[in-house]
Each structure stands twice: as structure tokens, then as C-alpha cells.
Amino acid sequence: KTGRDTRVTLDGAFEEFIQEKEANGLSKSTIRNYKQSYEMFYRYSEFDNNTLIDDIEIRMIYKWTTHMRENEVRPQSINHYLRDLRTFFNWCADNERIQEPLKIKEVKAQDELMKMYPDEDIPALLVKPQPGDSYPTWRTWAMLSMAYSLGIRAGSLCNMTIDDIDFTGNEVWIMKQKNKHNSAVPLTPSLANVLREYIKKWLGDEPKTSLLFQNENGNPLTVNALDQIGRAHV
């Protein structure tokens, strides 16, 4: 489009986008989601405050999406981030910050960890236990909440430690089983509340173990045990 300013930075465009959304009265949670998705893409791509909006290409989105899939980020979460970015870049096109919107497509959602549960059963499975319920009941609640929120593999879930939960940075560090590589995924407020309650009730302020989940003898859970827990709740 003629007369378009080609010197607009990525940061500048996003700041203007957020300012407009705030002025239009979008909820704080929606604004926070936009910022979180943007920050994840920004950090992965190693942009800086000199990066121009015109420097952004669809192949960068593809590369980031592949990275998230390889690091076992749940497809539903990936699509959430992609939708946020698509909204931003559509805004950029509508406001002549870029010539055309980026054609960002969502990935096919396949929730392998939760496929054994019918959709209508999910809300019941995630209901908070009663104070007097047993440790296995609370553990199952916390584990299913993590599986549903993050879509991580059973092996990663069994090996999760307390230190892998970063409440300050709102991240969960997940070990990728194939290469023992750690990657960070966002920790949602609802999942953070679940884990705080679980840790406080069963692990305490000074846990005797670094394991987030364990069997009743204090040993690590196995993938087979996790599978049996899941089937017991079908």
C-alpha cells in the first residue's frame, strides 16, 4: 500500500495493538494472553527492539510451531498461541503496518494423554478433591490437571520435580524424553493454583523429596502405574 511506513518496529506495532485493545475494554486476562503468546514467539525467534514488522515472515511462524510440537507442547495450547498471533498480525494488516496478513493456520489437535477420556467426563475428573480425600486422589487430580493443561507425555509427567514448576516465571520445565532436553511451557493461573494446593497439602514447605508425584511408598511413579491410574478413572 502506498504511503505505508516501512520502518515500524515489531515492538512498536505490538505496543500500539495492546493500547487499542485496552482502550476497547478487553479483559485483563485476554490482554495477558496476547502478551504471553507474543513474548513466547519473540523470545524463541530472538527478536530485539530493532526488529521491523516487515521482517516477520510466515516461515518464522512455521519454525516456531515445529519447535513447540517437538517439545511436546499440547496442540490446543499451540493453537491458542497461534490464534493470538493471527489476531495481532491481522490487526497489523488492517492498520497498514504490514501489506498483507500472515496466513497462520492452526495445527491438528490430538490430545494423546487424554484420549481415553470422553470430553463430557473431563470436568468431573478435574473437580478439586475434598480435604479428607486420600493422597492418591489428590495426586490424580494434580496429574490429570497437568496432563489436560500441558498435554505432556507420561514419562515426562512421572519424572516431574518440584523445581520444574516456576511459579514466579509462570513456566513449567518439561524434559523431552528423546534427548533429555528441557523446554519451558507456560504455567496457566488455574494450573498454578492446583499445583500450589497439592504441594502445600502433601509435600509441605520443606519437601523430603524433589519428586512432584510419587507412589505411596515414596518412590517414583512408572509409566505403567500412570496408565493404570488413568484407566481406573475412565
Higher pLDDT, 88 or 218: 88
Checking if the pLDDT of 179 tops 70, the result is no
pLDDT for the residue numbered 117: 53
Checking if the pLDDT of 52 tops 80, the result is yes
User: What cell was used for 105?
Assistant: 493456520
Q: What is the pTM of this model?
A: 0.53
Higher pLDDT, 135 or 151: 135
Burial pattern 153-191, b for ≥16 Cβ within 10 A else e, equals bbebbbbbeeebbeeeebbbbbbbeeeeeebbbbbbeeb
pLDDT tens for 79-132 read 889 999 999 999 999 999 999 889 999 887 544 444 545 556 667 667 899 999
pLDDT tens for 154-170 read 788 888 899 899 998 88
Give the separation between CA 138 and CA 27, rounded to whole angstroms: 32
Half-sphere exposure of 138 (CA within 13 A, CB side): 20
Give the separation between CA 113 and CA 74, rounded to whole angstroms: 10
